[in-house]
Amino acid sequence: MTDALKRLSDEGVAIWLDDLSRQRITSGNLAELIDQQHVVGVTTNPSIFQKAISDGHGYDQQVADLAARKVTVEEAIRMITTADVRDAADILRPVFDATGGQDGRVSIEVDPRLAHHTTPTIAEAKQLAWLVDRPNTLIKIPATKAGLPAITEVIGLGISVNVTLIFSLERYREVMDAYLAGLEKAKAAGLDLSLIRSVASFFVSRVDTEIDKRLEKLGTDEAKALKGKAALANARLAYEAYEEVFSSERWAALDKAGANKQRPLWASTGVKDPAYKDTLYVDELVAPGTVNTMPEATLEATGAHGDITGDTVRGTYAQAKADLDAIAELGISYDDVVQLLEDEGVEKFEASWNDLLKSTEAELKRLAPSEG
């Protein structure tokens, strides 16, 4: 079952699960995935927590206690989500120790309503790091314009960061720059750079979803021939940018001081179009020093029939550029697509956060004790 997952891991791809719930923690399922499916990390987002809290009764006791204390719904969400992240971090701690801190990581997101506000994002990142209080936590900060200086500041404080919602190559370069600037601040402050980690979450499937829709609308044979090529091309060129930045003189000085590279993380790797192989964004994005965070269905599909044949990224850059150029020549604006996807990404997480607020508020009311 797991030969393909082992091969993937052996190729230098860290396999993270894009899901977390209390049921997954208490049932032993997370520990089982770590033990049997080569899972070495977990990512969360507001959508994942909203689904977890809405399903079943795994949170009833804690919610009842929070209701008895009459906490606000925002505080309740923070208590619930950080409890899950702490427990998951403890389960993953042996992986963290075995990999010298590289893996065994659990991510938790700042309130997505802060995506366009720098100072509150920094404050929230500090608060989350304090609340979870585990060395193997990553605080997720979106790669919006307002997020970039927050990333620098938070890294500069020695807090490890998962930069999320990256769609464009230009923004990805800005993210790497923000990371290096943060490391330089941390170094100037005398912090141990070896303890600071970061991943840059480059979103994959949504790029195909949007560009394929535009290609389909054009309807020509030339347009249809380019379907399913944009997302891989975009991600592969991101890896080229990663190789360039982390072989620069600026990086060399930080490397000498003990810093860690910011690994590219392939996010949104579940295939949206049923016409494509369900492991497309795993099989075709194999490169050393990367992370692939998968929904459970993609993890199972990769274990069952993933086609892991070695590095499928390096050596593809010329073709990747040609594919994106061909799409641009048809009148599809790359800049327009990636900005739309960033805007939609923030909006979706905000909507999920609002749903999380509503469902948690309903649970607090349902489980509130009678007066007395």
How far apart are alpha carbons 283 and 307 in whole angstroms? 6
Residues paired with residue 109 on neighbouring β-strands, in sequence order: 140
Contacts of 233 (CB under 8 A, 6+ apart): 319, 320, 321, 323, 324
Could you tell me the two tokens for 200? 């840059």
- Cα torsion 283, 302, 161, 247: sign: negative
How far apart are alpha carbons 270 and 279 in whole angstroms? 8
What are the start-end ranges of the H helices in 99-146? 118-132
How far apart are alpha carbons 326 and 316 in whole angstroms? 15
CA angle, residues 210, 212, 214, in degrees to nearest 5: 75
**Residue type at 114?**
L
Based on the residue annotation, tell me whether 140 is a catalytic residue of this protein.
yes
Give the three-class secondary structure for 369.
coil
How far apart are alpha carbons 315 and 128 in whole angstroms? 40
Cβ–Cβ under 8 Å, residues 138 and 293: no
Q: How far is CA 246 from CA 180, 190, 201, in A?
A: 10, 22, 16
Could you tell me the two tokens for 168? 């464009």
How far apart are alpha carbons 266 and 200 in whole angstroms? 8
Among candidate residues 140, 227, 229, 261, the one labeled active-site is: 140
Give the three-class secondary structure for 275.
coil
Burial category of 365 from C-beta neighbours within 10 Å (exposed 0-12, middle 13-18, buried 19 and up): exposed
Catalytic (active-site) positions = 140
